[in-house]
A and B are shown apart, each in its own frame.
Chain A
Amino acid sequence: MHRLIEFIKRIYVLVLFLILEVAALWSYATSSVYAEAKILSRTTEVGGAISGTITDIGHFFSLTYHNRELTSRVAELNEELERTQLLLEESGIDPESTTAIDEDLHFRYHPARVVSMTTNRNRNFVVLDKGTHDGIAKDMGVITPDNKLVGYVVSCSEHYAVVMPMLNTDFSTGGRLVGNDYVCVIRWSGVSKYKFEAVELSIYSNPSEGMEVEVRSERLPAGILIGTIVDYELNSSKSAYSATLSIAADMSSLDNLLIVENTHYGEIEGLMQQVGN
């Protein structure tokens, strides 16, 4: 007992220092999106290797499931390819004669795997195992293999990317009602990880339950699903609707994802900056 007290006496200053230092760093790390994402990507360089190994073990045991999912996706894509070829033939175009090359592609897809992620905070982040070394850059979109929005890349290290998912109170993106093309802004209020809000839906948009909302952003192609309207109401001034959406992607079980690169994004950004200046 005496020895224990002596030991505690010897180390209590160090323990207090560690507690205070961690608290200060935590406060700083969560003070801004930039700091949070940067610290997360730095710590990921070290921790990524460890959690990557753990994740790899998890992936090994879920291979059967993923193989089944990939097979069904391949089948889906084959059917789509066949339909496109039929359409081209019906239009009198020889599919073999298309001159499209890699550089002409408007969007490129980089497969990535989730290394770590959180879903229980107000500001959640997802870490992917691809970084600048693999051609990933800030602002690229991230989707599930079945075309559902996950979020946007906010920071990259050489081998890892940090994604701000929809489940982050700082996240916002443009949306489009499928069917009538009315646009809206989507934000997450942090209340439920399965639902979020579309704000400022036009009074003329005439929303209905079950209506799908797609992404409308220069960072992603058309047809990326955000969610489905489950509830909506007129605001107090009766000038706009506010709707609640159920999130399309299952954010609690993300694994294999696609990072989407818009090859024209730099050009668009440059133009926007010109207009801004």
Chain B
Amino acid sequence: MFKNLSYLWMAIVLILLQIFILDQLSIAMWLRPMLFPLIVILLPMEWRTIWVLLISLTVGVVMDMSLGGVGLYTATLLPLAIIRRTTMYLTTRRGLEPGDQTSLMSRLGLRQLMFYVAAMILLHHAMFFLLETLSLENVLHLVATILLSSLLSIIIALPIVHLFTLKIIDK
């Protein structure tokens, strides 16, 4: 119960951080960090996909209403709920086993967890910017936006994931 509350607090902090700080930063058109996908990415792998899907929907709708995405945030968050386990397996070679006593994320080191987080952030940013631009006329600009924004998001995510492993997973 207490752990679930920790996830709720993390979600609120990440949403507020995105709306009031990250989205207000205007560093460059091609540098737009996004941390709210971490809410979905860091949910326990043991949770049923249907719950993760509904949480993604809630976060997406909140972001759409706050930042005027009209479906853009939701459309790019929902696939994360579906591809989480596959991405985890592809990046860490770890999957859910029937007899596991501890959570999958607690068995990963920070480095392995960051591989998974980085892959998910990259996938999310690729979907987001592709859907936002809806054009391949300036592919170089699009690729640069995806890569540089992902890189910045991953760098900012590193201390958050570290804190997450210490305060939530290892509890």
Contacts and interface: CB of A to CB of B under 8 A. Distances in A.
A16 B50 contact: yes
A28 B75 contact: yes
Interface of B: 49-50, 53, 57, 60, 69-72, 74-75, 78-79, 81-82, 131, 134-135
A37 to B, nearest CB: 9
Interface of A: 12-14, 16-17, 20-21, 23-29, 31-32, 34-35, 38-39, 42
A13 B53 CA distance: 8
Given A38-B135, A39-B134, A42-B134, A20 B71 contact: no
Given A17-B78, A24-B78, A28-B70, 6 more contacts: A17-B53, A24-B72, A25-B71, A28-B72, A38-B135, A39-B134
A150 to B, nearest CB: 24
* SS of B interface (majority): helix
A34 B135 CA distance: 11
A162 to B, nearest CB: 12
Contacts of A42: 134
Nearest to B61: A24
A27 B53 CA distance: 18
Contacts of B131: 28
Contact of B53 (A20, A31, A32, A39): A20
A34 B131 CA distance: 12
Contacts of A29: 71
Nearest to B56: A20
A26 B78 CA distance: 14
A24 B135 contact: no
